[in-house]
Chains A and B, each alone.
Chain A
């Protein structure tokens, strides 16, 4: 017979009260778990979407000129004196602090070429990273290898080429390995060749006109990354395509704040439920506590019995609360996430599980502390009079 036995016996006897404390804590903990895992899942969802948006950082040479084009419409007459970046310098991007967030770096060389009588823009790109940088590309045929070219839909129409056709570009014979389906962007009017082929055709060996970077930004330190890249490439102008990222992250940030406030309220209510229930339990047990004290239990012994009971119920609520919260997230995710949350996982997170357990335990014990103190401070003589 120990204090633990008394606590367990009492829990078994007062099942309804124990259940009430359990449910109060369960709701509090599962709500917090649900909110946190939902925010995590939505962040994951947004990151997933961002990957589909492709490049989100542009690196261009520094220039003193301002662009005179808008919406793809050039106001003509102004010649840009293009400077270039040395291709080797791009390797420095892998040394920035947030290098692990860099999904792909796409160097690009641009230059006008003559195809027959037409002047066309030729872009040299790294086709290995194009699925990441331009996930919207749909290619009829295959991506080009050496001496191959991918032709934008509008360029193909104007030049009258098909897959397998040959083009004389600046006097060099290039085979059309694929046609780009219409994208609605400038890509429709361009010829795409491998980076080294294009550099060779344009006479720009080892130089690039611009680079695109796809940053997978969990928590998205996109502006920090821009600053870090600017530091390693002082001769380049680094720009973030911020609108999409910022807008979405702000929305998520608002939701996160709302979720935290709501969690705090639910936890507070859960704590109050525990407090009120434990107070009533202690009052019901006045006589019993009087007996314990009369036969020599110290105040600390009485406190330990009450806190043991609260601790056992809290621990159980913590474990179950985690799984209920996780289940709730899985249930509501389709209503919050884009694409009904397909492809978004709500994995078991040991840190969150540990946090949920600790939260339940701390909340249960804190809310039971006052009732336990009340029980311990009960005058045994007064308590016995209630019998």
Chain B
């Protein structure tokens, strides 16, 4: 069975004549350690699909299964735990908390994890080192550049070592050079076995992924494998990353 299974997901906003079907039934199978790029015009449903795959947006119908866990069959609290343990989010506008330092922002996903302060700080420092921000932990988000803020967002997304990284336009606000650096960083994470789902408008960025999906009007209209993104995937195919602190309460199908 695939690591991530999207089974006929539908999302409809509103009711009756005023209703809008943002996603009209999408099926996907994603293997552990894969990198998928989701492309499409504005309003094609890619962000809605990503939010549903981020366990943030309950679908109107269909199932979303990760590591044999039926995500939307979970209760609210369990779903929050699922997000904490399985998912890392990188948002387009970084979404850093302005009154927390860089290190504190990175530590946010660890706030509800039962471990001591020292361990949390060590994990945050490791994540910051991994994204090339060693020594910048005490700065506030407004004291670093846009590229650095994106790196902080990535460090925050990976600090609890989630198996899946969801990135929504991760280079949308960055220049070409910085975009490339961020893509190389994601590539390194993917090489380490992290499954990446990335929404992007940028075809160059999409080429880093193993598979490119194109959405149009809420439907999956095109799917192709890229040559570059496939590199090294065969070697790690099927290898699952183990969540940092998965509680044993998740029931599996």
Contacts and interface: CB of A to CB of B under 8 A. Distances in A.
A311 interface: no
Contact of B97 (A12, A288, A296): A288
A297 B76 contact: no
20 contacts: A1-B111, A1-B121, A6-B111, A9-B100, A13-B98, A13-B99, A288-B97, A293-B56, A293-B83, A294-B56, A294-B83, A295-B84, A296-B81, A296-B84, A296-B109, A297-B80, A298-B81, A381-B56, A384-B56, A387-B95
Nearest to B109: A295
Interface in A83-129: none
A308 to B, nearest CB: 12
Contact of A291 (B54, B95, B112, B120): B95
Contacts of B120: 1
B226 interface: no
Contacts of A9: 99-100, 104
Interface of B: 51, 54, 56-57, 76-77, 80-85, 87, 89, 91, 93, 95, 97-100, 104, 107-112, 117, 120-121, 156
Contacts of A288: 97
Nearest to B103: A1
Main secondary structure of the interface of A (DSSP, over half): helix
B83 A296 contact: yes
Contact of B51 (A2, A13, A381): A381
A298 B57 CA distance: 15
A291 B87 CA distance: 13
Nearest to A301: B112
Given A1-B104, A12-B99, A301-B112, A295 B93 contact: no
Given A13-B99, A294-B89, A297-B111, 20 more contacts: A2-B117, A6-B100, A9-B99, A9-B100, A10-B99, A287-B95, A293-B83, A294-B83, A295-B89, A296-B80, A297-B80, A298-B77, A299-B76, A299-B80, A301-B112, A381-B51, A384-B51, A384-B91, A387-B91, A387-B95
Contacts of B83: 293-296
A104 B186 CA distance: 92
B103 to A, nearest CB: 8
A202 B51 CA distance: 107
B20 to A, nearest CB: 15
Contacts of A380: 56
Nearest to B51: A381
B57 A381 contact: yes
A300 B112 CA distance: 11
A287 B104 CA distance: 17
A264 interface: no
**From A13, A294, A296, residue with most partner B Cβ within 10 Å:** A296
Contacts of B99: 9-10, 12-13
A69 B95 CA distance: 94
Contacts of A387: 91, 93, 95
Contacts of B51: 381, 384
- Identify whether the interface residues of B are mostly helix, strand, loop, or mixed: helix
A5 interface: yes
A9 B83 CA distance: 24
Contacts of B98: 13
A3 interface: yes
Interface in A1-31: 1-3, 5-6, 9-10, 12-13
A119 B87 CA distance: 110
Nearest to A2: B111
Nearest to B94: A387
A384 B55 CA distance: 13
A2 B156 CA distance: 15
A11 B156 CA distance: 23
Nearest to A12: B99
A296 B81 CA distance: 6
Nearest to B121: A1
Nearest to A4: B111
Nearest to B117: A1
Nearest to A292: B108
B127 to A, nearest CB: 13
A299 B77 contact: yes
Contacts of B80: 293, 296-299
Contacts of A2: 111, 117
Contacts of B93: 387
Contacts of B112: 3, 296-298, 301
Most chain B CB atoms below 10 A, which of A5, A291, A295, A298: A295
A10 to B, nearest CB: 6
B110 A1 contact: yes
Query: What 6 pairs between A and B have smallest CB-CB spacing?
Result: A296-B84, A13-B99, A1-B107, A381-B56, A381-B57, A296-B83
B104 A294 contact: no
Nearest to B56: A381
Interface in A287-346: 287-288, 291-301
A295 B104 contact: no
Interface in A257-309: 287-288, 291-301
A294 B91 CA distance: 10
Contacts of A297: 80, 84, 111-112
A2 B107 CA distance: 9
Nearest to A14: B99
Nearest to B47: A385
A307 to B, nearest CB: 16
A264 B167 CA distance: 53
A296 B54 contact: no
B113 to A, nearest CB: 9
